[in-house]
Amino acid sequence: MRGTRNGFTLLELLVVIAIIAVLVALLFPTARGVYTAALEFQCQNRIGELAKITMAYCAANNENFPNPCTTQTVTATGIRRGWLYGYAPSAPTVSVDEGIFVKQKMLGSKANLVCPVHVANFQMEPYQDAYAAYKTTQKAHVGRKYTTYPIVMSSYAMNEYVWTSVTPFAPRKRRDFSPTHFLFVEEHPTLSRYQDGAILPAAGRDYISDLHHGGGYVACMGGQVLWIGFKEYDDIIADTAPGGQKSRRWDPM
């Protein structure tokens, strides 16, 4: 009489392990793709939210845009405050908490200032509450080592042309721009030179992000969020002819 067998044979266990390994290999890319898509969707929502907040600000301020936060339009006098940051009366450095959108409680969360893909790919906090572009660094994994880059307070930069570019600096009107003009651009986390609250269409200085399949997101004046490839963005800012893409997307004047 044959005895009752308990458990599995070694061969059966190896077969089960092999099947599980195949299933994991098949499901992992799908799960990673879903995760990445979710982060990109969050990024679109965040830059779109900034555009909506800006339009609400314009509606409440005689169609004037908020200060775009450039090194020229925000000073240490305590008088000027930009959309992203401002100087606290008793502090020598600027802070996100002093920016218009946070100070006036227009922004839901300060974490929404940074693209979640940016956070996931760099060793950084959801946002940096200091004007640290020239002082502290984030780290990006390049090959087998980490390379340091300037920290930014926001992944998203406002079109600098919403204010006049010569002294005395002053806001322009919402009606000066069409719904298709760029309002916010997801700035490149390492290549952009200044990385403050504003961005100009200047070749060799400010770049769009390439974290999303080789491109980044922009939010237009009309609220539409677009994906633009890195090369396509370069072509747009290079088209400086009258009536060209630069005037149609950036500065109507």
pLDDT in tens, 90-135: 666 677 888 899 999 999 888 899 888 887 766 555 555 544 443 4
Strand 215-220 versus strand 182-186 pairing type: antiparallel
Q: Is residue 163 one of the residues assigned to a domain?
A: yes
Q: Is residue 116 one of the residues assigned to a domain?
A: yes
The boundaries of the domain holding residue 240 are 10-61+110-249
Q: Which residue has the tokens 């890319």?
A: 29
Query: Among residues of the chain, what percentage have pLDDT more than 90?
Result: 28
| pLDDT value for 134 | 37
Contacts 24+ apart (CB under 8 A), 164-172: 169/72, 169/73, 171/64, 171/65, 171/66, 171/67, 172/64, 172/65
Strand 198-199 versus strand 182-186 pairing type: unpaired
Which residues in 142-175 are b (16+ Cβ under 10 Å) and which e? eeeeeeebbbbbbbbbbbbbbbeeeeebebbebe
- Whether the predicted pLDDT of 6 surpasses 90: no
Q: Is residue 170 one of the residues assigned to a domain?
A: yes
pLDDT in tens, 140-180: 544 444 445 555 678 899 998 998 877 777 889 999 999 99
Q: Is residue 96 one of the residues assigned to a domain?
A: no
Query: In angstroms, rounded to a whole number, what is the distance separating the alpha carbons of residues 233 and 248?
Result: 13
Q: Is residue 104 one of the residues assigned to a domain?
A: no
| pLDDT value for 141 | 45
Q: Is residue 200 one of the residues assigned to a domain?
A: yes
Q: Is residue 39 one of the residues assigned to a domain?
A: yes
Q: Is residue 22 one of the residues assigned to a domain?
A: yes
Q: Tell me if 102 sits within 8 A of 96, measured CB to CB.
A: yes
| pLDDT value for 90 | 65
Q: Which residues contact 89 (CB under 8 A, 6 or more apart)?
A: 78
Computed over every residue of the chain, the mean pLDDT equals 78
pLDDT in tens, 10-69: 777 777 787 787 777 666 655 556 677 888 999 999 999 999 999 999 999 999 999 988
Which pTM value belongs to this model? 0.78
Structural domain tally of the chain?
1
Q: Tell me if 208 sits within 8 A of 227, measured CB to CB.
A: no
